[in-house]
Structures are given as structure tokens and as C-alpha cells.
Structure 1
């Protein structure tokens, strides 16, 4: 799958059970854990508890707290609550909270892990150096910020249905 990093594909109108592509960025340790055990929902956040995705790869650069790997996922939005408000009062009967960002950097949070239909992990061998310096990530002995220390056998099956 090819996706231009600066191209965003937000749904024009969110419909129940709409399937979209979402992007998630994290560090290699968390990616390894996701590859072994699947996603773990956050306990809180701007849109409540769940797993967060951006609608563009580039948007993960300023949303992510950790860097080095990208995850591209096919996500079923289920019943979707759309908002333009940060930290909204969240209704109980929705599967996804979709935040319409003022700069078109939309993101969404899914509450149920079953909504994440399939995903693939890509390791960034040349991450955004400025972003890594900002979070005070030092260079490794090799001189790189990130090295692929993931066991490729963990990924078997990840590529089959995206």
C-alpha cells in the first residue's frame, strides 16, 4: 500500500460501520508489544480512553508521544460521534470519537479493539531527527536514533488482509 505522508483522507460524512485507514506512530518497544499482543487502549486522552489514529501519516508526527515506527490500520468506525471540541463530554453509546481538527489534522479514538480490522507496522529508519531531539532521545551506539530490533517472525500474518 502506498500513501503519501502529507495526504489526508478524512471521511466526508461519517457513517455507521464505515471502514477507514488510520495511522498510529509509536516507538519500537511499543510496536513489538503490539505485534506480539495487539493494541492496548489508553486509559484516558483528549477523546477519552481507547486507541488513537490520525487520518494522515504526517499528522502522527505532531500527535505522537513516541517515535520510530508507523502503524497503518484498517479500522471500522462503528457508531461514530463527531466533535470539534477537545475533551468533549462523551456519550456512552458510541464506538468511536472523531475529532475534526481546525487545521484538517483529524484524528479518531476507537473504544473497542475489535474495530481494528487489520494493520501493518513500518519501521522508520530515518526518523524525524528534530522530533526525536525534542523528546530527548539520544543516538544509539550505531549513531542512529532508531534501529530495527524487532523479530520479523512476530509479523507473520500482519500483512495478509490490509
Structure 2
């Protein structure tokens, strides 16, 4: 719901990260740093699938439009894997890898479906398909024609003008 923060939360997040980085009782790190220091991860006996949104994965999959978006991503990933098997140009490999990561963001799938406003869905649909087209171009492949067709239209009018559905039931 960053759209409700000024500048999509940029200044809030920057201030938060600065406070965390300067806190005397916290040590910020990354997975790469931990591995470099030889720290061994503790095994997790069980991990439950879920989400911070309604406790399910339905925000990202299950709806026919969301599933179609996943199919388009899977096709692009298969193309990426085929090209990367023989790709020798480190620049192309890096650019294609970065572009694939953009396409794999779960935020795209949030927007597909009928419960979000049509204007927002249309914009994110267009941007998502444009990211996939860019990936194909980074792979020196022609983008599939289906990427010219909208995935989802949306027609919801969420409460309070936001983009989240109200949780139902308990």
C-alpha cells in the first residue's frame, strides 16, 4: 500500500533504513555477508506457505488472469534458460538476468484480477508485458505476439480508494 505514502514511501523507507543502520543494538547484514563469514543457517523443520495479505497465496495466483500472467512468465523463463545455456557475452548474461528479476517480481501478479480498479490494472498490465518484451529483446528473441494483448482488465472499486481487498471471514 505504498501508494498511500508520499513519494511511494521513498523518504519513509530511507529514514527507516538509516535508523536501523545506526541503531546501537542492531547489526544489519546480508545473506552474502553471512555466508562469507561462514555462518551456517539453522534448519527450519517446517515452513508454512502463506502471505502477509490474507494469509494465503491467492493474491498472487489462482485467478485466471494471474495464472495467464504466470504462464507468460514461465514461457519467458524457459526462453531465458535456453539462451543462457549458450550465451557467452557476460554483458548480455547480466542484462538478461537483471531483466528476468524485474519480470519475476511478485508485485505484478497482485494487480491482475477483477477486484482492482481498471486504471491501475491497465497500467500494471502494460508495464508487466513491456518488461517481458524487454526480456525477450535482451535474449535477442522476437517477443511472442500474445504480449501485445492485455492480460487483465480489472473493474473493482476497493474501499478507501486503495488496492487491497478487505479480509473476509476468520
Tell me the TM-score normalized by structure 1: 0.24
- Larger fraction in strand: 1
Structure ID, larger Rg: 2
Q: Which has the higher contact order (CA 8 A, sep 6+)?
A: 1
Tell me the TM-score normalized by structure 2: 0.24
